[in-house]
């Protein structure tokens, strides 16, 4: 992929805050009964992944263990959302006091 194509691809992505991305991931996961016990997910900024500036940091389930099928569904949701959204870095948030 050329440098211009890569920058156009990145620029075409909409920006979301970490809580917005986490909510989108949870919404997708909750469509599947096997993920009913998932309580929260956490995303974080990353610079070591091509094509995205965020990654999944953690999946939390009630009772502790996240079923393997649910982990796979979560990773698939993250991969899909990474194609559509960039993480809005916290320092870019408009703090209107």
* pLDDT value of position 24: 98
Tens digit of each residue's pLDDT (9 = 90 or more) over 62-78: 988 999 999 999 999 99
8 A C-beta contact, residue 25 and residue 7 = no
* pLDDT value of position 90: 75
Tokens of 32: 């599947």
Between residues 74 and 5, which one has the greater pLDDT? 74
* pLDDT value of position 64: 86
Tens digit of each residue's pLDDT (9 = 90 or more) over 15-35: 999 999 999 999 999 999 999
> What percent of the chain has a predicted confidence (pLDDT) above 90?
70
Q: In whole angstroms, give the CA distance from residue 42 to residue 22.
A: 6
């Amino acid at each position: 992929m050329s440098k211009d194509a890569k920058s156009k691809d990145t620029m075409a992505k909409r920006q979301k805050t970490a809580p917005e991305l986490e909510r989108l991931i949870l919404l997708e996961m909750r469509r599947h009964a096997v993920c009913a016990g998932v309580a929260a997910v956490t995303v974080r900024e990353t610079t070591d992944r091509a094509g995205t500036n965020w990654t999944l940091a953690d999946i939390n389930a009630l009772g502790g263990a996240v079923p393997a099928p649910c982990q796979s569904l979560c990773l698939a949701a993250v991969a899909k959302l990474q194609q559509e959204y960039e993480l809005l870095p916290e320092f870019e948030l408009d703090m209107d006091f």
